[in-house]
Structure formats: structure tokens, C-alpha cells
Structure 1
Amino acid sequence: MVIDLTHTVMSGMPVYPGDDETIIIHTQQFGINGFNNHQLSINMHAGTHIDGPMHLQDVQQYISDIPITTFVGEGILIDTSGTNLVEYKEEYEALIQEGHIVLVHTGHSKLYGQTAYFEDYPTLSLAFVDLLIRKKVKMLGLDTPSPDKFPYECHQALFSGQIPIIENLAHVDRLIGVTAFEVIALPLRIQADSSVARVIAIVRL
């Protein structure tokens, strides 16, 4: 079974306050031109996307420079719904292993499209982030717009640990109770700090 964890890219989709709007133009139409074509204007942090270290660090590492193997791996779900702070728990020591792609379900994605989605979202504790770095996970995925707020200490720590961050995941709740799944989260092969992405989970039945 394949679960799509990606929000649809469309004109006027929700973007982080201050970011440019997403615009899709139907530039060529079949009835007029004999074919269809669309043109997309989007910032790399709109919708479901992957933050690379260049986003908040003074480095010249484009998202396209990160090894492709980083974006594919065994997934593990941490269900923290009902809490505003994702904290370290002893049980995570055995649950999270090296090379995992860790997805965190907070339930916050139900507010996607509402103003509150970007204003009051659950965040991560540095102790939890330190665990991910120590475990050498491949990636972290969230159903929120960010792992933290200013001054973005979790972002900085994760990037220093070479852990990209998937933000604005959808339908993560469908993985609750799933014991084994693979995550494929592919950014564009683009020379940019970050990239919009298509993220799926392949559930092993």
C-alpha cells in the first residue's frame, strides 16, 4: 500500500507568512493551441517540502548536492498528538535506529489552510533533536510548518548533524499503527537551498 504524504501544489496554496504566493498559469490550452501547458511560480518552502542546510546556514550546499540515498529509507513514526512540545523519551532509544527517516505525527496538519496553522504549532525539544543527531537518522519529517520558532535552534542543530527536514506533511495519521514502512521523499534536482517534494510511504503488509 502506498500513502501519499504530500499536499497538492495549486495556485493560492497556503504559504508561510511573508513568502511569495504560488501561481500556476495555464499558458497553453488544447482548444486554442492544440496542446496544454502550465507554468509554475513557487518558492521552495511552499507546501510539502524539504529544508536543506543552506536554508539557514552560510554554506554552498544546494539540495541537489545531498546524496539521493538520504531521501529514501526505512521509516518510523513518533505519535505525539495532543502535545505542544515533542520531548525526549527513553522509549525512543530502542525505537529510533541509525538510518531511519523519522516522521512525527502531531495532528497539526488538520489546520492546514487555516491561519492558525502557521501561528501556533507544536515544536521539538532540543533533547529530542539531540537524540536524532546521535542516532544518525537520515531525515526528519513533520506535519507542521517548522520544528521550532525563532531563533531556530532545532533547525541549526539538525542541519549541523546533516539531517534535512521535511515540513508540511499530510495524512501522517494514516501511518498510526503501521509497523513497517519505507519513506521516499524526493526533492527536485535543483540548485536551491531547499525544494518542494513528493513524499510517499510504502507500507509493507
Structure 2
Amino acid sequence: MFRDLSRPIETGMPTYPGDPDVTLAPDATHEADGYATSELRTGTHAGTHVDAPRHTIPGGETVDELGVGQFAFDARLVDLRSLEPREAIAPESLPDPSDLDAEIDLLVLRTGWASYWGTDRYRDHPYLTAAAAERCREAGVGVGLDTFGPDPTPTAEGDADPPSNARGDEPDGTPAHDVLLGDSLPIVENLCDLDDLPARFRLSAFPLRIRDGDGSPVRAVAEWEGRPGDT
């Protein structure tokens, strides 16, 4: 079985606060030119994408410096749909490193926040504590998320609907990113369609070969034997 876990790239799609807007527009058309091409303007972290260490680590590896095999993962699904808005994900919510098979190299965290894509509430996703990221580092696994990322996202300005649930004890900066990317562990963000995935599957998330890239949009595809919902 194959399933596309990627967000479509389209004009006006949600982006992380402060990132460039995405636009996709015709360049040449069949009617005028006899063929079709389009112009795409996007940031490197739009839609479903991977982070390279250079994203938050000065001097860290870039997308084009990482081996292509580092973007094909043996993944394990972790169901975190019981979490509240902006709730911190503690280490105890993740598998103990001793319970992970040696071949697992990515934990896919299903928070359920994919259902809020395109709304202000999408910013209010749960996030990893630095200690939870350290547990991942200890296990040698990266993370895939159905959210903007493993750290808290800035809240919506003005009259958000629903209102923001920002908490006063949220960390500043990018501590979870820093722990993971500091050890060259993968981060895949803005995944979708995680319902009914098996507990174990293969995930391919190959980036564009962007020179000195700090990240890249990907086509994230899950693959497993059997039918949807099989474990």
C-alpha cells in the first residue's frame, strides 16, 4: 500500500508565521505558447517539508550535503491525539529507547492537528519538550509531525477564532529543533492523512537538491504491506 502524506502546494497555502507566501501561477499556456509552464514562488519550509541541520544550527549540514538515503525511513507511528492545544509532549509520551527496534529511525507523531490546517488553531499544536527531543536523540530517531514543527509556533495576532491558547511556560527559540538537528536527526513537518496508518511503515520524504538548502518541500509517501488500518 502507498499513501501520500503531503500537502498540495498551491497559492495562498498556510505557511509558518513570517515565512514567504506561496504563489503558483501560469507562465506559458497552451493557448498562447503551445505548451504549459508555471512559476512557483515558495520558501524552503512551505507545506510538507524536511529540515536540514543548517535550519537552526550555524554551520550545520545542508540539504544537498545529506545523503539521499537519509530521507528514506523506517517509521513508527505514535498516537498523541489526546493532547490539548499547545500542550507540551513529555518524554514519557514517547516510546522508551529500549522498546524501539534497531531499524526504527523516525517517530511519526500523530497529534490530530492536521485537521486544523488552514485555520488559526493550526498554530496551537502540541510541541516537544527539550527533554522529549533528548529522548529521541538518545534513541537515534528523528520525528515526523502533522504540525508546523516540534517547537511552539507563534500565536495568531488580533482576534483569532478560536482564540489562541498560548501558555506562559512555553520555551523560547527552537530547543527541540536544536537537539534533533544538532545530532543530524531528521525532522519532517506538516504531514497529513495519518489516520489508519499501521504502527510500522516506510516513509520516503526526498527533498529537492537545493544548494546550501536549510530545508526543502518533499513528497512524503508511506508504504506498507496489507490494507489501510493493518498493524
Question: What TM-score do you get using the length of structure 1 for normalisation?
Answer: 0.92
Q: Distance in 1 between matches of 2:60 and 2:82?
A: 38
Which 5+ residue runs of structure 1 have no aligned equivalent?
none
Residue 142, structure 1, aligned to residue 142, structure 2: no
Pick one of 63, 86, 90 that aligns with 2:89: 86
Tell me how far 1:112 sits from its aligned partner.
0.5
Task: Kindly report the root-mean-square deviation, in angstroms, between the aligned alpha carbons of the 2 structures.
Answer: 1.6
Number of residue pairs matched by the alignment: 201
SS at the partner of 1:89? helix
* Matched residue type, 2:203: V
Pick one of 182, 185, 193 that aligns with 2:202: 182
Residue 159, structure 1, aligned to residue 164, structure 2: no
SS at the partner of 1:92? coil
* Matched residue type, 1:140: V
* Matched residue type, 2:67: P
Residue 2, structure 1, aligned to residue 6, structure 2: no
Tell me how far 1:179 sits from its aligned partner.
3.6
Of all paired residues, the percent bearing the same amino acid is: 28
Pick one of 190, 205, 210 that aligns with 1:168: 190
Tell me how far 1:89 sits from its aligned partner.
2.6
Aligned to 1:193: 214
Tell me how far 1:128 sits from its aligned partner.
2.0
Map residues 51-62 of structure 1 onto 2, 5 A cutoff: 51-59=51-59, 61-62=61-62
* Matched residue type, 2:201: F
Q: Which runs of 4+ in 1 moved over 6 A?
A: none
SS at the partner of 1:25? strand
Aligned to 2:229: none
Assess if the C-alpha contact under 8 Å between 1:3 and 1:202 holds in 2. yes
Tell me how far 1:90 sits from its aligned partner.
8.1
Q: Distance in 2 between matches of 1:151 and 1:180?
A: 32
* Matched residue type, 2:193: H
Assess if the C-alpha contact under 8 Å between 1:54 and 1:193 holds in 2. yes
Decide whether aligned partners of structure 1 residues 106 and 91 sit closer, same or farther in structure 2, where only a CA change above 3 A counts.
Answer: closer
Assess if the C-alpha contact under 8 Å between 1:88 and 1:131 holds in 2. yes
Residue 101, structure 1, aligned to residue 103, structure 2: no
Residue 129, structure 1, aligned to residue 133, structure 2: yes
Assess if the C-alpha contact under 8 Å between 1:182 and 1:201 holds in 2. yes
Decide whether aligned partners of structure 1 residues 121 and 91 sit closer, same or farther in structure 2, where only a CA change above 3 A counts.
Answer: closer
Residue 203, structure 1, aligned to residue 208, structure 2: no
SS at the partner of 1:151? coil
Q: Distance in 1 between matches of 2:149 and 2:106?
A: 17
Aligned to 2:49: 49
Tell me how far 1:125 sits from its aligned partner.
2.1
Q: Which moved more, 1:25-34 or 1:52-61?
A: 52-61
Q: Distance in 2 between matches of 1:76 and 1:96?
A: 9
